[in-house]
Structure 1
Amino acid sequence: MKKGFHYAILTAVILTLASCSTTKYVPDGSYLLDEVRIHTDSKNVKPSNLSIYVRQNPNSKWFSLIKTQLYVYNWSGRDSTRWVNRALRRLGDAPVIYSKEDTERSREEMTKAVQNMGYMSATVEYIPKVKKKKLKLAYKVTTGEPYIVRSLKYDIPDEKIWEYMQKDSTATYISEGMYFNVNILDSERQRITNNLLRNGYYKFNKDYISYTADTVRGTHQVDLTLHLARYKQHSDDEPRNHPQYTINKVNFIADYNVLQSSALSSVEINDSIHYKGFPIYYKDKLYLRPKVLTDNLSITPGTLYNEQEVQRTYSNFGRLPVLKYTNVRFFETQSGDSTKLNTYVMLTKNKHQSVSFELEGTNSAGDLGAAASVSFQNRNVFRGSETFLVKLRGAYEAVSGLGLGYGHDNYTELGVESSINFPRFMFPFLSNDFKRRMRATTEFGVQYNYQMRPEFARIVASASWSYKWGLQRQRSQHRIDLLDVNYLYMPWIEPNFEDKYLNNEQNYILRYNYEDRLIVRTGYSYTYNSAGQALMNNAVIGNSYSVRFNFESAGNLLYVISKMSHLKKNDQDEYTILNIPYAQYIKGDLDFAKNIVIDNRNSIAFHIGGGIAIPYGNAQVVPFEKRYFSGGANSVRGWSVRSLGPGSFPGDGNFLNQSGDVKLDASIEYRTRLFWKFRGAMFVDAGNIWTLREYEDQPGGKFKFNTFYKQIAVAYGLGLRLDLDFFVLRFDGGMKAVNPEKGKDRFPIIRPDFGRDFAFHFAVGYPF
């Protein structure tokens, strides 16, 4: 009955969409642009590269299938004074009416683009096909034979610049035998310009470089010459060699107000000091130590102007939280026959202190709660742009379903954490030159967390020392956790809970994670994103990919010390430090994700990842915090969080037993823009977790090469995302498709049951 109702609703929606005329608001004598296609006769000229020149595209489709927004627009009545009609038109898209003028301009721009690729005789024609009031448009690209560069010559009257070009000739983009591609020729102009900007040519730009191309009659060959125009400061001046600039003085202005005039005379300065030959000007009090300013400066007096050093200076000062803006300005000064630049590094300070409050609601399997936190931040503790943070947090949650025998039925958490961040590499015995090159950030942190539940009380205390740094415009990010110490202390366990769950010999994993434990770990993580900071509305511009790698180990040094010291083991065959057993394991994770753009509204994203954690030496189990879980908003979304696996184990109501040492995950999403700030997605997820050992309380959970692929769970579903620019709210609904458990419920996709197989997820941000 319930299934029949769902099918009836789906059928009604389909019939409603089908009954709507897509040409309702297309005027007589006009046509709805229904489809645009590009066909080329050369594999080297891809239609996807020419689509950007199409000035008129059809109405967008959800998931490249349905013109939903056009249907929504057509649902509106013709009376524009009614609010319902106005609302439908705002939510929908008006029909795209075919324009012959736009088509002709598209043809012209497409022709020029193909000719710029080297196909000088290329032609483009458009072929419209009309059916009733709809029009399908096809662009037919005939490339012809490409033109080839037969000879390459250089006309460089400036000997100094010619010398720089010869030294850098191995990096050139142009050569004899290449296609006569105008885009590559322009890239070579920019490459030469960048090289000269690194070698003192402060005023040089690519407009000084030009080409002449002579075609050989009767052939498709071109004789190419690259020209360099000589420098003229004014149009009526005599041409001369391009001036090479040297950095003269570097000055710091610490209190620059960007809202005032950019003229130096308008800058408010009350005092100044000189540090290692660098003048530093400030208004009332210098808020940064002079050494911090000079250490982050990459521009060196007495050297040639270098655009890379300027950009590196911007990057270095941009890392300092105490600064809001940085502006580097140059002023020419003539000294004899040489041209020099006086440099001013103008800094605008940020607010040094801030206080923030956070409130949040929680829902843990139906148990409602609330949490609040207050944070204090100082961005300039020791006048070196060090960031000090202290945060207090409290949470409360009602706990249900425990039964009788417990003193209370609520969960309380109190915590405090503090960290201090230094914008430099802090480590003894390292040279200042090495620390400046690394540009790493050093962080020290401590944390204390007290948790009180009806079953137990737990205290977690930790201290950390880490470094992180980024390269290549933030595409690469590195992090080293040099030392991370975590101490888990269980001051109290409710006797009924202990007798029922912990004293059972089969529940080894459960008992292990409810004992005092010391974790001393080190780790390294690496993240690479090919898009870098090129993000718009949380979506990557163009195709991109990312790689994430993490490795960590714990307990190795303590184990060596224990062995060498001949320490005795406790009754559970574990070495201890101050009577506290410590964990020992290694863990590694690898994840790859890729985003492929179909058009400006649709894209496909997929990811595959895995990880393994191996306990050894002083431990037979990986600590709870380091074990893997499956299911949830960022995993196989047909299962609720931490409810899948390990292996074919169906679960016993204890989420600790649904954890493992090995994890595999793979997902693919078709993402589409819906309307306003809403995005939609169709997805398929697959994955599971496994254990490395056979545990009695996790039957069927061990990883075996001959059976693990049969235990991979599969889910499918739909998602709705609200993109608010700064963050994304995500709502995903997943259905089980393939169940790792054996039996009649192995393939729920054949006989779906909404109540049994559906899982809803709410999260912030994209899953990958």
Structure 2
Amino acid sequence: MKQLHSKIVLIFVTALLLYSCNAVKRVPQDKYLLIENEINVDGEVIKDTYIYDQLSQRPNTRVLGIPFSLHIYNFAKKDPDSTFQDWLKKKPKREERLTRKLSEKQLYELEQSYIGINNWIKKIGEAPVVIDDAKLEKSRRRLERYYRRRGWFNTQASFSVNGDSSQRAKVSYKVVRNQPYIIDSIKAQISSPVVDSLFQLTKQQSFIVEGEQYNAENFENEIDRLTLQFRNSGLYDFDTEYVTFEGDTVETDHKALITYVIPDRTITTPDSTYTEPFKSYDVNKVRIVTDYRYALRNSQFSDSLNFDDFELYSFEGLDYKPKAITDAISITPGEVFRDVDRSLTYNQISDLNVFRYPTIEYSPDPDDPEGNGLIANILLTPLKKYNLDLNFDASTSTVQEFGVAFRTTFSIRNVFKGAETLELSARGSLGSSQDAADADRSFFNISDVGGNAALQFPRILFPLNTDRIIPKYMSPKTRISTGVGFQNNIGLDRQNLNLAFNYQWKPTPTKSWNLSLADIQYVRNLNTSNFFNVYRSSFDIVNDIATSSGYMFEDTESEALGIPEEIDQFLIDALGDNPDGLTFTDDNLEELASVDERRDRLSEDNLIFSSSVTWIRDSREDTYDLSFSRWRLKLESAGNFLSLLTNLADTDIAEDGNRKALGVEFSQYVKTEIDFIRHWEINQNAVFAVHGFGGIAIPYGNSNSIPFIRSYFAGGANDNRGWRPFDLGPGSSGSRLDFNEANFKLAFNAEYRFTLLGALKGALFVDAGNIWNVLDSQEDEAFRFSGLSDLGELAVASGFGIRYDFGFFVLRFDTGFKTHNPARPLGDRWFKEYNFANAVFNIGVNYPF
């Protein structure tokens, strides 16, 4: 029955494609479908996508060479209303019979549904690109304009249409550029002395250079450069329209003689228009309204004060410390007018997160005797003091069959009247898992509840003044947070306590720093005896070795070690004196020691006192920027402060020789990470993205391994998609354990993303990576990274994905195939599990990188 169903589906899909595969079925009889553009420049065919973007008509979108979107469009009826009426009237009594059976209203709704479905099919599809003579001519002119703007003033372009009997055609564009023009000399004709003086200061930075080929883009950049310079040097009245150029190319032997022309300022009054030289302005006063609303615009202020020469006003009483406001304002009384100060003030006020986007206006100072003073008026509208967010979520994963979760955050702005923000959050989740120990468990048998409190200050909290190192234009912040959590979702009843103190600032719009002075985490496991119930792979390893060693089980029927007493005693005996004289191989003992060490590490309490610094460079300008790069570098160090403190205090020493703090062996390690992302926009419908990650955490001093919560794992929807989370590595070990983790990781990803139909996107990807143990207590060579030869253990996955772009998020379905599996024997690793039976299906939100 299943095979019959599959055949029916296959026949239906094949029939659909055959029906709609006539790509020219919607092309008028005397017209051609555009299938290819070709641009020949000076006798050479070019492939530059930017030049092809100048064309007004481009072929229909293709995926793997097939115009699926066009076929979808062709599947719809051309005139669905007429088609429905023709069908309705094809048989004399059909309309009468349907009206009697459905009623006139229902028949009308049936017709509208038919029309709506066909219109929807057209919408998600793509209409055929029919060659249009007017658009061809427009493309020809745009090609000429493109090259003329780059110095080939005598460019000539033409086109030809090469059609065939199947109504398909290729359009060939021929471009002859001829000799380009070179900038020969540059002069300046500037009327205002102050403008000329500023021009002379920076003319060496000009985008227009003698001897270079003419390029209109350089002239546009030069206009922007001069306008920016002048408006940041006091010329409040200056704008781009005042900068023009005159070019002489008549009988100059393809040389361009360029003259800057910057006239005096033009002033228009109701009675006349006249000119006068530009002059430099100073900001005499900065007036700040801290609670502006449009409804109060004509009301009288109830409160005002002067702070550091800033004038602050309020309608309903000043509710902010003056310094908190003025620290976010770069426009300074008594300084020369600079347009950049207004831009910085916009950003810094917005970063406070207590006001809406501000209004900043300048007006002449009527009290200035020389007439070159300005008043900056800054209108601030407060956001709501209190804000409540509540989110619910449902999920499933390899660890959790089903789970529901909530998170709520209550925010209080301007807590201490210094633009601080306090966030109080609570979270909770309930889930169902097969990994829980109780056989008589209820459906919801795992939980995670917790709460956090975070206080953010819009400045650096430090005993010394840091303004010279981190000035206010960098939007410095100090964040203090604490949180608690109570989990039984891994069966060990884990409790967490977190404390953090960090600084954040942005030196430029693309670069940011995060300095964490203290990040303290305490993890306590209350139910450590449950370890082998939770980590069943570890239990199976020990139980199998017990069986092969001749061990006499207490439960002779099940031949399974009892948890926890029997299995604990077995490990003590096997790794100790072996009083029962059981038979173990060296590999058996090594494996038992590894399991015992892992149990100790995963069930021990952790105290982590770390500091870290993170640098991020992100060139992405906005969400529509599809060509960008992002770097993230992080260095973390843990345990050094506690090591010094416990040595000075001579605290307790554990059996293994490690120091304790607050009764817990603290972790000591150094960790570094590098993360890189690069996106290239291939065309308006395709993006190529790559990602690389490398991270290593090295234990030393008081530790011989990395805490589980600070280690690396591999696999999953945002990593190597041919393996499930925690299911890859370490090295070539073959994922022996329930949760595989290590302290060294490499990950590389490449993905080609393309549009299928409108918001429906597709992707082809290749992922490579693995985790290893290095410089820690792990001795099994299959787990360890011992040299460059171990790079041959990089796991490779490849596959495809389907995504739907909802605008504010992307829902993602990816299928990954194991292409190179390092867990298999050498020589048998490539494409041995490349099939749907071994495929991994991933569901994710937004793109993986």
Provide the TM-score with structure 1 as the length reference: 0.92
Rounded Cα–Cα distance in structure 1 between residues aligned with 2:643 and 2:654: 14
Rounded Cα–Cα distance in structure 1 between residues aligned with 2:167 and 2:403: 58
Q: 1:121 to 1:606 in 2, by over 3 A?
A: same
Shift of 1:667: 1.1
Residues 40, 46 of structure 2: 8 Å contact kept: no
Bigger Rg over Cα: 2
**In the alignment, which residue of structure 1 is the partner of 2:593?**
505
**In the alignment, which residue of structure 2 is the partner of 1:766?**
847
Q: Which moved more, 1:596-605 or 1:137-146?
A: 137-146
Shift of 1:178: 1.2
Q: 1:197 to 1:14 in 2, by over 3 A?
A: farther
Question: Does the residue aligned with 1:648 lie in a helix, a strand or coil?
Answer: coil
Q: 1:203 to 1:13 in 2, by over 3 A?
A: same
Rounded Cα–Cα distance in structure 2 between residues aligned with 1:48 and 1:764: 31
Question: Does the residue aligned with 2:292 lie in a helix, a strand or coil?
Answer: coil
Question: Does the residue aligned with 2:221 lie in a helix, a strand or coil?
Answer: helix
Residues 157, 176 of structure 2: 8 Å contact kept: yes
Shift of 1:665: 1.0
The structure 2 residue matched to 1:319, chosen from 351, 367, 385, is 351
Question: Does the residue aligned with 1:168 lie in a helix, a strand or coil?
Answer: helix
2:379 paired with 1:346? yes
Q: Which moved more, 1:248-257 or 1:694-703?
A: 694-703
Residues 454, 494 of structure 1: 8 Å contact kept: no
Could you give the per-residue CA deviations for residues 307-330 of structure 1, whole angstroms, max 9, x where no partner exists?
A: 011111111111111101201001
Residues 186, 258 of structure 2: 8 Å contact kept: yes
Q: Which moved more, 1:10-19 or 1:208-217?
A: 10-19
Q: 1:448 to 1:406 in 2, by over 3 A?
A: farther
Residues 456, 478 of structure 2: 8 Å contact kept: yes
2:791 paired with 1:709? yes
Q: 1:137 to 1:496 in 2, by over 3 A?
A: closer
Rounded Cα–Cα distance in structure 1 between residues aligned with 2:215 and 2:303: 57
Question: Does the residue aligned with 2:643 lie in a helix, a strand or coil?
Answer: helix
Amino acid at match of 2:763: A
Could you give the per-residue CA deviations for residues 713-756 of structure 1, whole angstroms, max 9, x where no partner exists?
A: 1111111222222222222111111111223994463563322x
Shift of 1:306: 0.3
2:329 paired with 1:300? no
Residues 39, 47 of structure 1: 8 Å contact kept: no
**In the alignment, which residue of structure 2 is the partner of 1:670?**
752
Amino acid at match of 2:287: N
**In the alignment, which residue of structure 2 is the partner of 1:469?**
505
Could you give the per-residue CA deviations for residues 537-560 of structure 1, whole angstroms, max 9, x where no partner exists?
A: xxx34x211111111110122223
Rounded Cα–Cα distance in structure 2 between residues aligned with 1:697 and 1:760: 34
The structure 2 residue matched to 1:284, chosen from 294, 305, 316, is 316
Question: Does the residue aligned with 1:376 lie in a helix, a strand or coil?
Answer: strand
Q: 1:701 to 1:428 in 2, by over 3 A?
A: same
Rounded Cα–Cα distance in structure 1 between residues aligned with 2:657 and 2:231: 66
Q: 1:3 to 1:667 in 2, by over 3 A?
A: farther
Amino acid at match of 1:523: S
Residues 394, 413 of structure 1: 8 Å contact kept: yes
Amino acid at match of 2:714: S
2:705 paired with 1:635? no
Rounded Cα–Cα distance in structure 2 between residues aligned with 1:699 and 1:3: 47
Q: 1:190 to 1:218 in 2, by over 3 A?
A: closer
Residues 509, 621 of structure 1: 8 Å contact kept: no
The structure 1 residue matched to 2:365, chosen from 333, 349, 352, is 333
Question: Does the residue aligned with 1:717 lie in a helix, a strand or coil?
Answer: strand
Q: 1:405 to 1:596 in 2, by over 3 A?
A: closer
**In the alignment, which residue of structure 2 is the partner of 1:515?**
604
Q: 1:42 to 1:318 in 2, by over 3 A?
A: farther
2:407 paired with 1:364? no
Rounded Cα–Cα distance in structure 2 between residues aligned with 1:119 and 1:376: 62
**In the alignment, which residue of structure 1 is the partner of 2:524?**
489
Shift of 1:16: 5.4
Rounded Cα–Cα distance in structure 1 between residues aligned with 2:43 and 2:332: 52
Rounded Cα–Cα distance in structure 2 between residues aligned with 1:697 and 1:640: 25
Residues 40, 142 of structure 1: 8 Å contact kept: yes
Shift of 1:272: 2.8
2:74 paired with 1:40? no
Residues 271, 283 of structure 1: 8 Å contact kept: yes
Rounded Cα–Cα distance in structure 2 between residues aligned with 1:46 and 1:147: 24
Rounded Cα–Cα distance in structure 2 between residues aligned with 1:285 and 1:75: 67
Residues 192, 264 of structure 2: 8 Å contact kept: yes
**In the alignment, which residue of structure 1 is the partner of 2:134?**
101
**In the alignment, which residue of structure 1 is the partner of 2:75?**
75
Question: Does the residue aligned with 1:672 lie in a helix, a strand or coil?
Answer: strand
Listed as ranges, the matches of 1:486-565 within 5 Å are 486-494=521-529, 497=532, 498=564, 500=567, 505-507=593-595, 508-532=597-621, 534-536=622-624, 540-541=625-626, 543-565=627-649
Rounded Cα–Cα distance in structure 1 between residues aligned with 2:494 and 2:437: 21
Between the two proteins, what is the percent identity of the paired residues?
28
Rounded Cα–Cα distance in structure 2 between residues aligned with 1:11 and 1:510: 55
Q: Which moved more, 1:642-651 or 1:268-277?
A: 268-277
Question: Does the residue aligned with 1:593 lie in a helix, a strand or coil?
Answer: strand
Provide the TM-score with structure 2 as the length reference: 0.84
Could you give the per-residue CA deviations for residues 508-530 of structure 1, whole angstroms, max 9, x where no partner exists?
A: 13311211121000011122111
Question: Does the residue aligned with 1:417 lie in a helix, a strand or coil?
Answer: strand
Residues 317, 326 of structure 1: 8 Å contact kept: yes
Q: 1:746 to 1:5 in 2, by over 3 A?
A: farther
Could you give the per-residue CA deviations for residues 547-589 of structure 1, whole angstroms, max 9, x where no partner exists?
A: 1111111012222334455555310221111221000111111
Give the aligned CA root-mean-square deviation in angstroms. 2.9
2:658 paired with 1:574? yes
Could you give the per-residue CA deviations for residues 422-469 of structure 1, whole angstroms, max 9, x where no partner exists?
A: 111111122555554343111000011111358422211110001112
Q: 1:572 to 1:362 in 2, by over 3 A?
A: farther
Residues 323, 347 of structure 1: 8 Å contact kept: yes
Shift of 1:686: 0.9
2:818 paired with 1:736? yes
Rounded Cα–Cα distance in structure 2 between residues aligned with 1:300 and 1:353: 31
Shift of 1:128: 1.6
Rounded Cα–Cα distance in structure 1 between residues aligned with 2:674 and 2:3: 41
**In the alignment, which residue of structure 1 is the partner of 2:459?**
424
Q: Which moved more, 1:28-37 or 1:316-325?
A: 28-37
Question: Does the residue aligned with 2:53 lie in a helix, a strand or coil?
Answer: helix
Amino acid at match of 2:68: T
Shift of 1:198: 0.4
Amino acid at match of 1:397: G
Question: Does the residue aligned with 2:381 lie in a helix, a strand or coil?
Answer: strand
Question: Does the residue aligned with 1:733 lie in a helix, a strand or coil?
Answer: strand
Q: 1:12 to 1:706 in 2, by over 3 A?
A: farther
**In the alignment, which residue of structure 1 is the partner of 2:237?**
203
Question: Does the residue aligned with 1:104 lie in a helix, a strand or coil?
Answer: helix
Question: Does the residue aligned with 1:292 lie in a helix, a strand or coil?
Answer: helix
Shift of 1:222: 1.6
Q: 1:246 to 1:699 in 2, by over 3 A?
A: same
Q: 1:257 to 1:678 in 2, by over 3 A?
A: farther
Could you give the per-residue CA deviations for residues 292-312 of structure 1, whole angstroms, max 9, x where no partner exists?
A: 122212112222210011111
The structure 1 residue matched to 2:416, chosen from 367, 376, 382, is 382
Higher strand share: 1
**In the alignment, which residue of structure 1 is the partner of 2:732?**
648
The structure 2 residue matched to 1:689, chosen from 752, 765, 771, is 771
Could you give the per-residue CA deviations for residues 73-115 of structure 1, whole angstroms, max 9, x where no partner exists?
A: 1112345133443332222111121111111112112211211
Question: Does the residue aligned with 1:111 lie in a helix, a strand or coil?
Answer: helix
Question: Does the residue aligned with 1:62 lie in a helix, a strand or coil?
Answer: coil
Rounded Cα–Cα distance in structure 1 between residues aligned with 2:6 and 2:696: 42
Rounded Cα–Cα distance in structure 2 between residues aligned with 1:315 and 1:45: 43
Q: 1:210 to 1:401 in 2, by over 3 A?
A: closer
Rounded Cα–Cα distance in structure 2 between residues aligned with 1:4 and 1:616: 63
Rounded Cα–Cα distance in structure 2 between residues aligned with 1:566 and 1:444: 30
Q: Which moved more, 1:421-430 or 1:406-415?
A: 406-415
Residues 627, 660 of structure 1: 8 Å contact kept: yes
Higher helix share: 2
